[in-house]
Amino acid sequence: MNTLHPVVAEVTQRIVERSRHSRGAYLARIDEACSKGVYRHRLGCSNLAHAFAASSDADKSALRGKVTPNVGIVTAYNDMLSAHQPYEPYPQQIREAARLVGAVAQVAGGVPAMCDGITQGRAGMELSLFSREVIAMATAVALSHDTYDAALMLGICDKIVPGLVTAALSFGHLPTIFVPAGPMPSGLSNDKKSKVRQSYAEGKATREDLLEAEAGAYHAPGTCTFYGTANSNQMLMEIMGLHLPGASFVSPNTPLREALTRAAVYRAVAITALGNEFTPVGRMVDERTIVNGVIGLHATGGSTNQLMHLVAMARAGGIVLTLEDFDALSAVVPLLARVYPNGSADVNHFHHAGGMPFLIGTLLDAGLLHGDVRTVWGEGMAAYRCMPTLDGDGKLVWNEVTASANLDVLRPATEPFRPDGGLRVLKGNLGVSVIKVSSMPADRMVIEAPAVIFHEQEELQAAFSRGELDRDFVAVVRFQGPKAIGMPELHKLTPPLGILQERGHRVALVTDGRMSGASGKVPAAIHVTPEAIDAGPLGKLRDGDIIRLDAINGTLEAKVDAAEWAAREQVHADLSSHHVGMGRELFACLRNAVGSADTGATIFGKHDRHHAADA
C-alpha cells in the first residue's frame, strides 16, 4: 500500500480530534446495543408472534429459533420513478436468496422517494430536501421493531440514500448493506438534450420538440445517466464500502444485476452477529470512511448537494465534518472523471471505462484513499479494485481493473483532467458558500458584475424572457434557504443563464438555495450561509451592488463601503405563499428546526458549528 498523502492524513486526524467526544458517545451507545445479542429474542412471546404471523410455515419455524438470521429490507420502491421501479421484484429475490443460506428476509418498511427532476421549479421541490429527514425517520420506524440481525437498504436517488444512511447509522449496531439497482441504458446524449433545452428557452424549439428530447434521454428503468446527485450517491456508497465491489453502475434487469443482489443477501447474513464476521455499520463507517467519500466526490466532480448530505450523514455517526475539510482535500485530490455535466460521457461510459474499480485503484496507488478501512465486503479496499462479471457457468467473479478503457472519460491519478478537485468553498462578506468548478470554463473562474436581485426564481425567468438580462450581471436569488422555503434546487435557471453566458456575457448566480447535481457550467455560489431569512448578508444586497465571485482565491464579496454595509438594514420577504399548498404546511416544524447548510441542513443534532465537538 502506498504512503497516505499527508493532507489526507492531516484532515482525517483533524476530524478525529474534532469528533472525539461525539464519536466516543456514539460508539458507546452502539457497543451497548451490540452486547445484547440477537435482537428479536428480547421480545415477549406475543410480540414475537406478531412479527412472524404472516410468514410462511418454514420462515415461522426459523424465526422462532435463535440461530436463524433475519434480514430487514427497507425499500424506496415506487413505479413512477425510473431509478426505483427496478426494486419491485427485489423483496422476493432477497427472500429466496436468504432461504438458500439458512436465513429469513422480511420487508421492514418502505420510505418515500421523490424526484427532483419532476419537481424542478414546482412547489413540490420545497419538500425535497426535507424528504431526507422524513426518509431517515421512516427507516427508523421500520427498524424499530427490533427483530432484525442485518438490514438491506434499497435506495438510489438524491435524498433517499442520505436519509437511509442517517437511519442506518442511528441503528449502527446492525450490519447494513446498500443494494443498488443501476442506471438506465444510454439514450439521447446529455449534450443534445441540453441544446434542445436552450433552444426552447430561446423560443427556437417547441414544447413537443423539448418533450421528445427529454423522453429520449429519460426512457427506461434505471437511474438517469448524467452524473448528478443520484449517481454521486452510488459512487459514495461504493467508495465508502457500503456497496459490494463494482456494484454501483450495473444496469437493471440483467443477470449480473440479479447475481449482485443475491450476493448482497449472502454477505448480509455472513456479517450478522450470528456469523463469523460481525460488522455493525456504526463501527464500520468511521472518520476514514467519511474522508474516502469526500475524496471520491472531488475525484469525480460530483454533486454539490453531497456537501450537505455528507456532513449530515457523518453527524449521524458522531463524526463532525466541516466545509474546511472539503476545501483542504479539494486542493490535493485530482479530477479523474469527465461525466456530464463535467464532460460529454454518461455513467455507462464511465462504468465501461473501468468505473469505480479503476477510480478506487488509482486513488489507492496515489496514496489518496484510506485503504485500511473496513467494508461490508471485509477488511481493506483492495477488493474494490475489481469489477464483477459472470463466468461461463453464470458464477459471479471479480477481476481487477488495471487500466482505463477510455482516457477521455476516466484517467489515472498520474494523468488527471485537472490537478485539484471540482468543488470549492467561497468566503467573504456575503457569507460562506460552495461552488462546483469542474465543468466551468477557465475564463469564468472570476466574475465581477452588478447584482440583480430576485426573491423568486420565476422573476429571473420572466426578466430573461423580457430581454432585460442581456448584459453582464450576478443574479442573486435569495430567501431560498432551508429555513425560508426548504432550500429548493434552482436548476431551471441553468438554461437562461447558460444562454447569456454563451452570448459572451459574464454572468453568475449567488443563492442560499441549491443547484442540481447536473448544473455547473455557469459560475454559481450556492448554499450561502447564513441564509437571507436568518439575518444573512444576502439580505443587505441592493440592485447594482458590485459582486466579485473569485473561485481561484475562494472569495465571495460585495464591493460596498464597509461603513455603508454595516449601516444597511436587512431586507425581508413575505414567504407565506411558500408555506401552504402541496403539503408544505405539514413541513413547518422542519423549517423551524433545520440547521444551516454548512452543518448539513438537518433537523437532527446540534447545528452550531462553533460547538461541533459537542455535536
pLDDT digits (tens, 9 = 90+) for 344-397: 899 999 999 999 999 999 999 999 999 999 999 999 999 999 999 999 999 999
Angstrom distance (rounded) from CA 257 to CA 183: 11
Residue 116 to residues 113, 127, 129, 584, Cα–Cα distance (Å): 10, 10, 10, 16
pLDDT, position 612:
43
| 154, 76 contact by CB (below 8 A) | yes
What nine digits make up the cell of 557? 464579496
Q: What is the pLDDT of residue 61?
A: 87
Q: Write the single-letter amino acid at 120.
A: Q
How confident is the model over 250-271, as a mean pLDDT? 97
Segment 73-123, tens digit of pLDDT: 999 999 999 999 999 999 999 999 999 999 999 999 999 999 988 998 899
Strand-pairing partners, residue 177, are 152
How high is the pLDDT of residue 519? 66
pLDDT at 584 over 80: yes
Helices 305-316, 160-170: axis angle to 10 degrees equals: 10
Structure confidence at residue 614 as a pLDDT band (50, 70, 90): very low
| Annotated binding residues | 157, 224
In eight-state DSSP terms, residue 286 is -
The mean pLDDT of 245-254, rounded to a whole number, is 97
pLDDT of residue 606: 66
Provide the percentage of residues in the chain whose pLDDT is more than 70. Answer: 97
Predicted local distance difference test score (pLDDT) of residue 108: 97
- The reported pLDDT for the residue numbered 613 is 42
First-to-last alpha carbon distance for the chain, in angstroms, is 34
Annotated binding site for [4Fe-4S] cluster: 157, 224
**Averaged pLDDT, 60-68:** 84
Taking residues 599-609, report their average pLDDT: 80
Express each pLDDT in 478-505 by its tens digit: 999 999 999 999 988 988 999 999 999 9
pLDDT for position 608: 55
pLDDT for position 615: 40
Give 30's pLDDT tier (boundaries 50, 70, 90). very high
Would you kindly state where each structural domain of the chain is located, as residue ranges? 6-36+69-185+220-400, 423-578
Mean pLDDT of the chain: 93
Q: Is the dihedral of CA 158, 162, 165, 171 positive or negative?
A: negative
Q: Identity (one letter) of the amino acid at 377?
A: W
Q: What is the pLDDT of residue 607?
A: 54
How much of the chain is helix, strand and coil, in % rounded to 5? 45, 15, 40
**Cell numbers standing for residue 322:** 466541516
pLDDT at 516 over 80: no
Decide if pLDDT at 180 tops 90: yes
Query: What is the per-residue pLDDT for 147?
Result: 92
pLDDT of res. 496? 93
Indicate whether 190 pLDDT > 90.
Answer: no
Angle between helices 160-170 and 229-239 (to 10 degrees): 40
SS3 of residue 550 by DSSP: strand
Query: Which pLDDT band holds residue 518 (cuts at 50, 70, 90)?
Result: low
Report pLDDT digits (tens) over 415-430: 999 999 878 899 999 9
**Region 277-289: what's the mean pLDDT?**
97
Which comes out higher in pLDDT, residue 39 or 487? 487
pLDDT given for residue 39 in this prediction: 67
**pLDDT for 609 beyond 60:** no
How does residue 517 score in pLDDT terms, banded at 50, 70 and 90? Answer: low
Would you say domain 423-578 falls under CATH 3.40.50.720?
no
pLDDT of residue 423: 85
Burial bucket for residue 284 (CB in 10 Å: 0-12, 13-18, 19+): buried
Residue 359 to residue 598: CA distance in whole angstroms: 28
